């Protein structure tokens, strides 16, 4: 009888903490022909494989019957594809096996291993990697289960902690401050002064929060037009900003101007036409774009980049507290998954036992057809239910015992399974009568041709 425990989990990879982007690019195998998944799935001793490639990490997760061989094979592949020597590659790589591989995947899915803890993008990227592996049929029972568990762990952490609820970027913090001032941003009008990266990120956050109108002002009008078009806003020149201030609620300024571009007098002048409605300025430019004295005007609020940095640092500390809760949740889920893996050995034996008992029941019913032929349909159904119930009750205690011993990690489980197999003559059971368990096929059987090394999904 095959031993599922001979099939180990191995994860090997690099990320933003261990390798420069130039190295990560070389290992991503973006233009590989054949595709990366096909190349990896055809490596010797690779039973199942998932390939995750993002801007911050490149990782290969496999099940294998020979961990040392698969680690060596992946290293050799990457060394060849990336034109890297052993010393550089070994310095960058991290390798996790078994429990550590499970823990690492759960932490990655939950963004605990991300450059910005709590960011949501990595879960979508992992789901995309899963879909590609599923389409390529390189997943089997173990990685299917592991990936779905990683998704559910990430969702649970995002739901039950506040790991993603604190702004940890300047642009995001700016919008979060605006939300605190106004309560909500739905229906509000905003102006961006400057069309750089931080302004663009702030605009995206504003749009996601339902603002009604977006005006983009920039010294280079063509850049303002491009950004406004991509976001569904309106572009204006810097000379037009003072007239437009009358009609907006939020102003985020991030130009590269050498000095102040909005003076206190400019804001004071437009407050009467605004009917003194609330006006919120966020100045994330260095040097500053907006005169700090505008804060002295009634119903005008101004925050600069130092204010925002204080918010970001405070929020980072809050996220770290939430991350500790998330780490504890990950540990609990790792233990649960390890318990499930411990039961893999017992599944094929239980299934075969059930199948043999059902085959015997069907055979005995067939022998009794002469006696049963005169029964009414209702009586025949009652006999079916009765015999099926007898089989289930006879098997109940042995199956419960096998599952209990397996989940408890009994050292004698292989002896118990061997005795069960011989006691019920399961190896002698004619599989032509009833096919053996698909899970057993997925775990123990790999195809031996170019495509057939990929494990079937259930």
- pLDDT per position as a tens digit, 298-356: 999 998 888 887 777 777 777 788 889 999 999 999 999 988 887 777 878 888 899 89
Q: Comparing C-alpha atoms, which of 55, 49, 53, 3 is closest to residue 28?
A: 53
Q: What percent of the chain has pLDDT above 90?
A: 52
With left for phi above 0 and alpha for psi between -120 and 50, is residue 3 left, alpha or beta?
beta
* Tokens read off for 396: 């109940």
The domains of the chain, with CATH numbers, are 4-160 (3.30.460.30), 170-312 (3.40.50.720), 346-444 (no CATH)
* Residues 6+ away with beta carbon under 8 Å from 326: 110, 112, 157, 161, 163
Mean pLDDT on 253-280: 93
Q: For position 411, what pLDDT does the model report?
A: 66
For 200, the token pair is: 């663009």
How are beta strands 46-53 and 57-64 bridged, if at all?
antiparallel
Annotated active-site residue in 55, 92, 147, 450: 55
- In a 10 Å sphere around its CB, with 0-12 CB exposed, 13-18 middle and 19+ buried, how is residue 400 labelled? exposed
User: DSSP string of 358-390?
Assistant: HHHHHHHHHHTHHHHTTS-HHHHHHHHHHHHHH
Is the CB of residue 17 less than 8 Å from the CB of residue 116? no
| 359-409 tens-digit pLDDT | 999 999 999 988 888 899 899 899 999 999 999 999 999 888 887 877 666
What is residue 4's predicted lDDT score, i.e. its pLDDT?
A: 44
Q: Which of 80, 159, 199 is nearest to 326 (CA)?
A: 159
**Mean of pLDDT values over 106-125:** 88
- Tens digits of per-residue pLDDT, 29-86? 888 889 999 999 999 999 999 999 988 899 999 999 999 999 999 999 999 988 888 8
State the average pLDDT over residues 115-134: 89
Cα–Cα distance measured from residue 359 to residue 362, given in angstroms and rounded to the nearest whole number: 5
Give pTM, 2 decimals.
0.60
Q: Does the annotation mark 55 as catalytic?
A: yes
Q: Is the pLDDT of residue 451 over 90?
A: no
Between strands 300-304 and 250-253, the pairing is unpaired
- Tell me the C-alpha to C-alpha distance, in Å, between residue 88 and each of 22, 51, 71, 74, 162: 12, 21, 16, 15, 38
Whether the per-residue pLDDT at 249 is higher than 80: the answer is: yes
What does pLDDT average to over the chain? 85
- What's the helix, strand, coil split of the chain in %, to 5? 55, 15, 30
């Amino acid at each position: 009888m095959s031993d599922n425990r001979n099939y180990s989990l191995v994860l090997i990879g690099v990320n933003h903490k261990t390798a420069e982007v130039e190295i990560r690019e070389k290992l991503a195998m973006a233009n590989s022909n054949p595709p990366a998944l096909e190349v990896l799935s055809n490596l010797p001793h690779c039973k199942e494989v998932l390939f995750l490639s993002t801007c911050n990490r490149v990782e290969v997760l496999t099940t294998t019957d020979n961990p040392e061989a698969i680690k060596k094979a992946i290293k050799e592949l990457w060394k060849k594809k990336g034109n890297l020597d052993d010393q550089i590659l070994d310095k960058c790589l991290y390798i996790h096996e078994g429990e550590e591989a499970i823990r690492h995947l759960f932490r990655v899915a939950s963004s605990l291993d991300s450059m910005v803890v709590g960011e949501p993008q990595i879960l979508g990227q992992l789901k995309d990697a899963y879909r590609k592996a599923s389409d390529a049929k390189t997943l089997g029972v173990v990685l299917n289960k592991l990936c779905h568990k990683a998704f559910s762990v990430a969702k649970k952490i995002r739901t039950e902690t506040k790991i993603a609820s604190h702004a940890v970027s300047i642009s995001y913090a700016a919008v979060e401050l605006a939300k605190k001032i106004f309560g909500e941003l739905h229906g509000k009008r905003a102006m961006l002064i400057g069309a750089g990266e931080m302004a663009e990120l702030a605009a995206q956050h504003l749009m996601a929060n339902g603002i009604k109108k977006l005006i983009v002002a920039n010294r280079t009008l063509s850049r303002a037009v491009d950004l406004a078009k991509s976001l569904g806003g309106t572009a204006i020149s810097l000379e037009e900003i003072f007239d437009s201030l009358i009609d907006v609620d939020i102003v985020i300024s991030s130009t590269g101007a050498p000095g102040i571009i909005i003076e206190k007098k400019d804001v004071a002048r437009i407050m009467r036409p605004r009917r003194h409605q609330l006006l919120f300025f966020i100045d994330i430019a260095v040097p500053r774009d907006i005169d700090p004295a505008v804060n002295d005007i009634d119903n005008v609020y101004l925050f600069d980049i130092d204010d925002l940095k204080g918010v970001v640092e405070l929020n980072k500390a809050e996220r770290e507290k939430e991350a500790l809760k998330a780490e504890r949740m990950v540990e609990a889920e790792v233990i649960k998954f390890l318990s499930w893996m411990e039961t893999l050995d017992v599944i094929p034996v239980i299934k075969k036992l059930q199948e043999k008992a059902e085959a015997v029941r069907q055979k005995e019913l067939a022998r009794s057809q002469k006696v049963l032929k005169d029964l009414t349909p209702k009586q025949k159904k009652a006999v079916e239910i009765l015999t099926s119930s007898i089989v289930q009750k006879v098997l109940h205690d042995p199956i419960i015992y096998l599952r209990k011993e397996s989940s408890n990690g009994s050292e004698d489980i292989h002896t118990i399974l061997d005795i069960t197999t011989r006691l019920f003559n399961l190896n002698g059971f004619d599989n032509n009568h009833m096919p053996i368990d698909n899970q057993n096929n997925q775990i123990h059987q790999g195809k031996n041709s170019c495509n057939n090394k990929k494990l079937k999904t259930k």
